[in-house]
Amino acid sequence: MDDKAADPAKVELRGLRKTFRVKKGTVPVLGGIDFRIRPNEFLTVIGPSGCGKTTLLRVIAGLTPPDEGEVLIDGQLVTEPGPERAVVFQHFGLFPWKTVLANVALPLAVRNMPQDEAVEMARRQLRRVGLESFEKSYPHQLSGGMQQRVGLARALAMDPEILLMDEPFGAIDAQTRELMQEELLKLWAETRKTVVFITHDLDEAVLLSDRILVLTRGPSSTVHRVVDVDLPRPRWEYDVRAQPDFAKVRREIWQLLREDLQEQRRTAVAQGSA
């Protein structure tokens, strides 16, 4: 449970449990998650592979119902997707037959926004991510990093209060990834959305976050620890990775993950020899 429960919560997770059915039975994924996400904070979720990070994000998004527990946003129970939340996935999800502008404007049209307003909003967000000169291009004409920026512009066009990001930079090359991290930091500083960001990358987690939620290994993942990142912002204006506190936080997270991985290996060896 978050140790600062008295703080105001934008998102509150209470006793979240989720189990999936498979051919040979069931697989417990979330084993009771209790946590409070503060308004306007950048929260990163990290943990061993298979610990349920994406499932947790989908539950917050209202795309996957929990078996037990509840998600509250501003004190209101979440039962389905809502306009106050937008999701950016690792795979860009752009429609190849639509232009960049049409891709960004699409969710606004679905909400019955007048076409001229939707187009203007889409153009505004494309300017924000530096793609205003590519509005007539098609996704196949863009690099991976540019496609991801289109996906981010599409999410921002909905003007959500909460931005849910599932490893959005996992499918792009390392150099482009660093550029996208910097762009995201600037966008967050400008908009101050509440962000929940999933990643496997320790450096990325420390660079972006106000706090890092570390999950235990599966099955039945729970909150292992919450790590505060007290590095000054804005973080694109100095070499944040060279700071001693950056290395300290990274080391703390890695130690938590390392302990889980070592325990997982010991369990696998014990089961193999039984």
Tens digits of residue pLDDT in 3-49: 455 567 899 999 999 999 888 888 899 999 999 999 999 999 999 88
Inform me whether the pLDDT recorded for 1 exceeds 50.
no
36, amino acid identity: R
Residues 100-129 have a mean pLDDT of: 90
CATH 3.30.390.50 fits 37-64+76-84+163-274, yes or no: no
Question: Could you tell me which residue, 7 or 261, shows the higher pLDDT?
Answer: 261
Helix orientation angle between 144-157 and 174-191, rounded to the nearest 10 degrees: 20
What's the pLDDT score for residue 177?
87
Distance CA 185, CA 169 (A): 13
11-22 and 68-73 strand pairing:
antiparallel
Residue that is written with structure tokens 């007539």 in the block: 136
Average pLDDT in the chain:
89
Residues 86-106 have a mean pLDDT of: 89
Tens digits of residue pLDDT in 138-150: 999 998 888 988 9
Distance CA 106, CA 122 (A): 9
Other beta carbons less than 10 A from residue 77's beta carbon: 9
- How would you list the strands of the sheet with 42-46, edge to edge? 85-88, 162-166, 194-198, 42-46, 211-215, 223-228
Residue that is written with structure tokens 């505060």 in the block: 228
Query: What count of Cα atoms within 13 Å lies in the side-chain half-sphere of residue 68?
Result: 11
Domain spans of the chain, in order of start: 37-64+76-84+163-274, 94-159
